[in-house]
Amino acid sequence: MKQGAVLSILCLAAAVGATGGQISQQSFKWFTAGAGLVLPRELTFENASGRLGILNADGPVATNGHPFFEALGPNGRACVTCHQPANGMSLSVDLIRERWSATKGKDPLFAAIDGSDNPSAPQDRDSSHSLLLNRRLFRVGLPWPPAQNKSPEFSIEVVRDPTGVNRDQVWTEQIKRAMAPLRRVSRVMPSDAPLYRSVAGNNSANTAASGPMYAN
C-alpha cells in the first residue's frame, strides 16, 4: 500500500515537472470573462505568421475580481473578451471565427448591441455578424445629433444601408439608452491596474488588429 502511494506521488511530481507547474497555454487561447485564472508573466502563441506574445513587467496577474477580466454588464462581456492574450490583447478574424464555431454564436463577443450587423436580424446566423466575422469590426452606434441643444454644422444622409440598421427605428431608440453605460466603462479600471505590452515575432497586421475602444 505504501509503495503504491509513493509511486503515485512520484508520477504526479513528474507530470508537474514536465509542465513547469503551470496551466496549459491552451487554456489561454480564449480567455472567458470571470474564468479566475492567473495570467502568467509571459505568454507566447504561435500563429500562421509566426509567434506573438504578451509580457507583463509586474509579473503574473490574478484575474479573479480584476475589472479587466470580469463581466461589466448583463451581456457577459469583459474587457478581455475583445482584448485576448492569444492575439496580443486584441482580436483576429481567425480567433473570432473559431469562437463562433465553438459556441454556435452564443459567446458574449457576438452580443447584438455591437457584435452583429443589425440587432433586429436573426442572431443565430453568421450572416448577421459579417462585419465581425469577416472584418473584425464592431458596429458602434452613436446617437445623432450628438448632444441636445446643439446645432451641427453638417448633416448626415444614409446613402446605402444593406443591413437596414441605420433606418431601424427600434434600434435607434435602443442605442440612446445603451450608450450611457458604455461611456462609463473606462471609469471602472483602477489607475494602478497592470498594463501590457505586445511582444510580436513575425506577426503581420492581418493577424491581429486593435480592438474596439469607447470614449468618455
Q: How would residue 73 be classed by pLDDT, with cut points 50, 70 and 90?
A: confident
What was the pLDDT predicted at 16? 31
What was the pLDDT predicted at 210? 33
What was the pLDDT predicted at 35? 93
Residues 34-57 pLDDT 10s: 999 999 999 999 988 899 989 999
* Top-confidence residue, 110 or 141: 110
Residue boundaries of the structural domains of the chain = 23-200
Q: How would residue 27 be classed by pLDDT, with cut points 50, 70 and 90?
A: confident
First to last CA, the chain: 65
The pTM is what?
Answer: 0.69
Amino acid, res. 136:
R
Count Cβ atoms within 10 A of the Cβ of residue 135 and give its class: 0-12 exposed, 13-18 middle, 19 or more buried.
exposed
Cβ atoms of 68 and 79 within 8 Å: the answer is yes
Alpha-carbon distance 60 to 42, whole Å? Answer: 8
What was the pLDDT predicted at 47? 87
- Kindly tell me if the per-residue pLDDT of 207 is higher than 60: no
Alpha-carbon distance 30 to 211, whole Å? Answer: 15
Residues 152-193 pLDDT 10s: 888 888 899 999 998 888 777 776 676 655 554 444 444 454
Residues 88-113 pLDDT 10s: 999 999 999 999 999 999 999 999 98
Q: How would residue 26 be classed by pLDDT, with cut points 50, 70 and 90?
A: confident
What was the pLDDT predicted at 63? 95
